[in-house]
């Protein structure tokens, strides 16, 4: 007990004096902003990532994320030290694992990145070290997957090392809700694990919300994203229904949103994108199958949202048909392939499926995206064209998929023959069709 009390004092003191060495495993959309936040608060931060291109960029003071502008590197005085070598873990007081958890084609969670990271950390585990999992995953992962791997190193949780869970709540491109201003959920395998996790994140986050168990925190994170997925599915289905009724779903939603209580507006679109909303609900659905439970609402929401790219293709076909044109041979300019406005992120972007289906139907499909200069689709490299009057006027149909600020600040819609607007961002006109 005396040894544990000494450990507590040392850990707390090192955090309060900024002497503690912090580690971030995985320097992607969640990990790099987190690493920068600790470095900007005065901590020496070691960032571990097996992607040599990422590490090289950071070593040269170059950023690859919109949320980490290069100017921020000038504020940390070299306190972020990126590396591909896991042996650096042995010198850390606390570290957070921020690796991806993708789904397979059968919508089964792939924990290989978490397992690999946990095994590498375990091989370099330091006595008294706090390890926090931040990756979004199914309920039970922290204690059923990560804990046994760390205990295999010979230590005992709550005494020799400490294990917590603190899900990420990053919204790329959101300047209002940052890591600091967004409340942080934290949990631990033991009470001391939770306390240390809470203390760690309180250094960079204004509001900490402790949860009674890691499973509660894991499930809360999934519920947040499931809430969005289900309500977006409702908005998307409303668009499908209003299309049948011959009325505007956008007008219906705005009318309903005037109610000052018990309604939160969500809006239709071309489909879901990003690495959370289209994916995370399936972690819970998959987990519940082990208990003989079918998450029917999650599955139904997925089916509706997954249908939207084809609905967009249908609307494009209808608009062209009304103008006496087929998709085959028509030049259809797609605006935006990032999954949301004003970011570079194309993960799970519905724009890709829209493009794929239009190409299969014989269309000529250029795209314009000021944030994504090129991307590969089905083995073919596509490059962005300019956002210009010539490109808009030369297209048989212009399709707004991602409402980047550049498109809205320089509206060229009056030069388009036809516009299909999936975001309700284009002014009304005889040439405009909305989903």
30 contacts 7 by C-beta, under 8 angstroms: no
Closest-CA residue to 38 (of 159, 156, 200): 200
SS3 content of the chain, % helix, strand, coil (to 5): 40, 15, 45
Rounded CA gap, 359 and 154, in Å? 56
373 contacts 384 by C-beta, under 8 angstroms: yes
Residue 157 neighbours by CB under 8 Å, 6+ apart? 147, 150, 151, 163, 189, 190, 193
Rounded CA gap, 66 and 347, in Å? 15
167 contacts 134 by C-beta, under 8 angstroms: yes
SS3 97: strand
Rounded CA gap, 16 and 343, in Å? 35
Q: Which residues are catalytic?
A: 276
Quote the distance between the C-alpha of residue 102 and its chain's center. 11
Closest-CA residue to 96 (of 121, 79, 124, 72): 121
Task: Please state at what angle helix 214-245 crosses helix 249-256, rounded to 10 degrees.
Answer: 120
Dig out the tokens for 340 from the structure: 């949301």
Quote the distance between the C-alpha of residue 328 and its chain's center. 35
**10 Å Cβ neighbour count for 171?**
16
Q: Is 159 exposed, middle or buried (0-12, 13-18, 19+ CB in 10 A)?
A: middle
DSSP state of 114: H
- Alpha-helical (H) ranges within 72-213 are 112-122, 141, 147-151, 191-202
Rounded CA gap, 8 and 192, in Å? 9
């Amino acid at each position: 007990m005396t040894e544990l009390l000494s450990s507590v004092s040392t850990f707390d003191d090192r955090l309060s004096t900024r002497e503690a060495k912090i580690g971030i495993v995985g320097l992607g959309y969640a990990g790099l902003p987190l690493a920068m936040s600790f470095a900007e608060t005065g901590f020496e931060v070691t960032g571990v990532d097996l992607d040599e291109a990422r590490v090289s960029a950071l070593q040269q003071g170059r950023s690859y994320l919109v949320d980490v502008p290069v100017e921020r590197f000038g504020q940390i005085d070299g306190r972020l030290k990126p590396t591909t070598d896991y042996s650096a873990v042995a010198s850390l007081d606390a570290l957070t694992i921020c690796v991806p958890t993708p789904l397979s084609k059968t919508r089964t969670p792939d924990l290989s990145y978490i397992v690999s990271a946990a095994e590498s950390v375990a091989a370099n585990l330091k006595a008294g070290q706090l390890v926090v999992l931040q990756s979004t995953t199914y309920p039970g992962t922290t204690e059923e997957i990560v804990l046994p791997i760390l205990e295999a190193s010979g230590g005992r949780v709550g005494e020799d090392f400490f294990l917590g869970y603190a899900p990420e709540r990053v919204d790329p491109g959101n300047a209002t809700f940052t890591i600091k201003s967004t409340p942080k959920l934290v949990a631990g395998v033991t009470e001391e694990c939770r306390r240390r996790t809470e203390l760690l994140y309180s250094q960079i986050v204004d509001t900490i919300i402790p949860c009674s168990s890691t499973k509660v925190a894991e499930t809360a994170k999934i519920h947040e994203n499931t809430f969005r997925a289900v309500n977006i599915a409702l908005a998307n289905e409303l668009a499908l229904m209003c299309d049948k009724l011959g009325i505007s779903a956008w007008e219906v939603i705005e009318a309903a949103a005037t109610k000052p209580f018990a309604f939160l507006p969500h809006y239709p679109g071309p489909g879901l994108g990003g690495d959370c909303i289209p994916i995370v609900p399936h972690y819970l659905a998959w987990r519940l199958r082990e208990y003989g439970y079918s998450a029917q609402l999650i599955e139904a929401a997925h089916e509706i949202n997954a249908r939207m790219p084809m609905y967009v293709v249908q609307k494009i076909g209808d608009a062209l048909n009304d103008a006496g044109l087929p998709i085959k041979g028509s030049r259809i300019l797609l605006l935006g392939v990032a999954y949301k406005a004003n970011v570079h992120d194309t993960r799970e972007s519905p724009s890709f499926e829209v493009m794929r289906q239009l190409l299969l139907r014989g269309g000529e499909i250029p795209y314009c995206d000021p944030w994504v200069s090129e991307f590969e689709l089905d083995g073919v490299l596509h490059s962005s064209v300019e956002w210009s009057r010539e490109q808009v006027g030369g297209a048989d149909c212009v399709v707004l998929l991602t409402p980047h600020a550049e498109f809205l600040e320089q509206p060229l819609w009056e030069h388009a023959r036809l516009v299909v607007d999936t975001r309700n961002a284009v002014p009304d006109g005889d040439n405009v069709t909305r989903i």
